[in-house]
Amino acid sequence: MAHRPVDAREAQSRERILAAFAELPAPFDLEAGPIHVTGSAIVVGRRGTVLHLHKRLHRWLQPGGHLDPGEAPWEAARREGEEETGLPLAHPDGGPRMVHVDVHLAAAGHTHLDLRYLLLAPDLDPSPPEGESPLARWCSWDEAATLADEALRGALAVARVQPETPHEVPKGDGHDGHERPEEEDGA
């Protein structure tokens, strides 16, 4: 794993993931045990990044989740990202790019070895389908860093400086997905 950690938390997660890969017979298989790989999407676009309020954890998170049988982590990141945001997503030119890793406890005593990938989104409003968290939205990078927990802040910092990450469009210029009333000319 040639990925360079952005902070001490990620460095520790990297070591734990490498150890798990060496020890676990099937780290990509959810059914093989309580410690397994997950794939997350760090969704970027002109308005910043997309977060959703997780319906069970009640925290603002990046989209992501478990791998389906035979699915690669970057495929799961894209699928979960699209399912949870309703946005069409694409990996950067050149293929999937892992930008961050994190190990964290999850529900039911599971430990997630989360591999996080940069995914590009068009300038559309998220529209999660029924059954997903209805609260998914674009956040400026500063707002996302404020909403994020320690496990996500490093991923946001790395994604923000990727070459494919566009500069944010300032609010109020009509490019945030909301129409602005025409100014009256005072006549």
For residue 98, how far is the Cα from the chain centroid? 11
Compute the distance between CA of residue 7 and CA of residue 180 in angstroms, rounded to an integer.
41
The residue with greater pLDDT, 141 or 175, is 141
What's the half-sphere exposure (Cβ side, CA atoms, 13 Å) at 6?
18
Whose tokens are 């996302």? That residue is: 144
Q: Provide the Cα torsion 103, 108, 109, 112; round to 10°.
A: -20
* Range in 68-77, 78-87, 178-187 with the lowest mean pLDDT: 178-187
Q: In this model, does residue 184 exceed pLDDT 50?
A: no
The residue with greater pLDDT, 179 or 18, is 18
Give the C-alpha distances (Å, rounded to integers) separating 181 from 37, 123, 171, 175: 47, 20, 14, 13
Q: Angle CA(109)–CA(53)–CA(8) in degrees, nearest 5?
A: 60
Give the C-alpha distances (Å, rounded to integers) separating 38 from 81, 87, 98, 129, 137: 12, 20, 12, 21, 22
Q: In this model, does residue 86 exceed pLDDT 80?
A: yes
Average pLDDT, the chain: 89
pLDDT at 135: 93
Enumerate residues 6+ apart whose C-beta is below 8 A from 5.
Answer: 11, 13, 14, 101, 154
DSSP state of 15: H
The amino acid that residue 78 corresponds to is R
User: What is the arithmetic mean of pLDDT over 84-102?
Assistant: 97
- In the structure, what pLDDT confidence band is assigned to residue 169 with cuts at 50, 70 and 90? low
Compute the distance between CA of residue 100 and CA of residue 115 in angstroms, rounded to an integer.
6
DSSP state of 27: T
